[in-house]
Amino acid sequence: MIVKPERKPLLRVEGLRLHYRGERGIVRAVDDVGFEVARNQALVVLGESGCGKSSLVRALFRVLPRNVETCTGKVWFDGDDVMAWREEEFRRRIRGVRMALVMQAAMNALNPVVRVGEQVAEPLRLHLGWGRERARERAAEVFRLVGIPADFLRRYPFELSGGMRQRAVLAMALVTEPDLVVLDEPTSALDVLTQANIMNLLKRIKAKTKTSFILITHDIATSSEVADRVALMYAGQIVELNSADKFFRQPSHPYAKALLASVPRLRDGVRPESIPGRPPNLIEEVAGCRFAARCPVRFEMCGRMPEMSAVAGDGQVRCWLYDA
């Protein structure tokens, strides 16, 4: 029996595991992941492709493919143990209502034959049963919030530029006034200036509303635009969880250090360094630390899997160097 935690962050995830059945064995896409998101906080989940960050989103929203082997762990949303809820209840009360998702490349998945305004209002009509008129008014309100002129409500997706379409899907997520919005790679298909515009917009929304954000991305530089906290994933696990301040200035985990050193910087002449090797296959059982094979500071202990240990500030690191 797990006791409900006393202080209530908006979202609390504990021991989350999502394993798939693959052709060549079990794929451990998410393996013992835990974190918290407070109200009005932005958590960035950072990782390279194949690290399990998108699977993490699937598990949180319970949108799972058929080949799931295990999906276990605890997810508390506003104090409720929602993993234990039946699908019906989860759909009615959480997904798309209090916890909204902007999927990767969602801007390209808008229905081409339905006006954007109607698509943005749809969650209100479907989830909350609002009438057409009331939903339209609210849609116009969210359009203002995300900076789209109100007359765009009547336009079709093809009449919108990429940046505008990204704003529209963001509006769709925000329309029910959710407590938490999860954005999966929200800027990866956009140009530099459009990207910066969307990040500006997220900052404004975060300042104006009480919404919390989880931003899933591989783009380290862009992630620093909104992050309050950072969770760095590697091979299905969180290896460092820290305040953005600490993470970007003084990362602890050897992978975090190497990853930050691999980013070419515009305002800094330091040459970026690549990380030799590549991440382990998620199918193979790696006995010890999953980064050990590429780690410049590995030692005997690394043959065993480290647990998360607390580090200065309120960070946690999965590395024997920080084992208390």
Interface ranges with another protein (CB under 8 A): 42, 48-49, 161, 163, 191-197, 199-200, 203-204, 218, 220-228, 244-245, 247-249, 258-260, 262-269, 271-275, 278
Sheet containing 11-22: order of strands: 25-37, 11-22, 68-77, 80-81
45 forms bridges with which residues in the sheet? 216, 231
76 vs 247, which CB is nearer to another protein? Answer: 247
φ/ψ of residue 82, rounded to 5: -75, -15
**Least distance (Å) from another protein to the CB of residue 63?**
25
Q: How far is the CB of 188 from another protein (least distance, A)?
A: 10
**Token code pair at residue 239:** 């290896």
For residue 4, with 0-12 CB atoms within 10 Å meaning exposed, 13-18 middle and 19 or more buried, which class applies? exposed
Structure-block tokens of residue 133: 């008129």
For residues 101 and 57, the answer to whether their CB atoms sit within 8 Å is yes
CB nearer to another protein: give 32 or 225.
225
> Residue 38 or 71: which CB sits closer to another protein?
38
- 3-state class (DSSP) for residue 106: helix
The structure tokens 């479907």 sit at 126
- Give min distance, CB of 324 to another protein, in A: 26
Helix axis angle for 162-174 and 192-208, nearest 10°, is 20
**Closest to another protein by CB, 77 or 291:** 291
Residue ranges in the chain assigned as alpha helix (H):
53-61, 87-93, 116-127, 132-145, 162-174, 192-208, 220-223, 244-249, 254-261
Q: What share of the chain is helix, strand, coil (3-state, %, to 5)?
A: 35, 25, 40
**DSSP β-bridge partners for residue 232:** 46, 240
Of 128 and 201, which CB lies nearer to another protein in the complex structure?
A: 201
- Min dist CB 44 to another protein, Å, is 10
Distance CA 322, CA 237 (A): 17
The nearest distance, CB 190 to another protein, in angstroms, is: 9
Which CB sits closer to another protein, 7 or 267? 267
Cβ-based nearer residue to another protein, 21 or 249: 249
